[in-house]
Amino acid sequence: MRVFIDTSAYFALFSKDDSNNDRVTKKLQFYKEIESKLFTSEFVLDELFTLLLKRYAKYIVKQAMEYFYEAETLGQIKIINIDRHLFRKTYDFFLKFSEHKISFTDAVSYVLCKDFKMDEIFTLDSDFKKLRLKTSF
């Protein structure tokens, strides 16, 4: 299974006091047990690190950064870089579907899910359901 992980899932994972922490942690463990291929993007990480820094202490952000560095180094996750072609596709999608009022980062995630043929998006964000992507919850 190919799974794209969104900011909301990661935020709940790194936020021990988040009401979704337990179910997100269990779902991530499930993905690992069935040997899913896990993906995210540099845009998701940008959004996550900024959000964590605004809500928590710097050491939480540092832990998150180290987690991703190690996970990518060990091949546990693929962090997708956005090239010019993907950026342009996202730009077009973002403008075409502006009535949905999604963030540009979510538009990037949508394009990546389609282009990389993801089976589902691991998210708590209901906007992806509006875009007809299969979500984890």
Domain 2-131 CATH (choose: 2.40.50.100, 3.40.109.10, 3.40.50.800, 3.40.50.1010): 3.40.50.1010
pLDDT given at position 116 = 98
Per-residue pLDDT of the chain (137 residues), as tens digits, is 999 999 999 999 999 999 999 999 999 999 999 999 999 999 999 999 999 999 999 999 999 999 999 999 999 999 999 999 999 999 999 999 999 899 999 999 999 999 999 999 999 999 999 899 999 99
Q: Per the structure block, which two tokens stand in for 29?
A: 């463990």
Edge-first strand listing for the sheet containing 120-122: 78-80, 37-41, 2-5, 120-122
CB contact at 8 A, 8 and 124:
yes
Find where tokens 């990037």 sit: 108
Q: Per the structure block, which two tokens stand in for 100?
A: 């949905």
Phi, psi of 37 (to 5 degrees): -90, 120
pLDDT given at position 42 = 98
Residue pLDDT, tens place only, 61-81: 999 999 999 999 999 999 999
Whole-Å CA distances, 19 to 16, 23, 56, 58: 8, 9, 16, 21
pLDDT given at position 7 = 98
pLDDT given at position 93 = 97
Domain extents for the chain? Answer: 2-131
Whole-Å CA distances, 115 to 82, 85, 119: 12, 11, 11
pLDDT given at position 121 = 99
Q: How far apart are CA 55 and CA 8, in angstroms?
A: 14
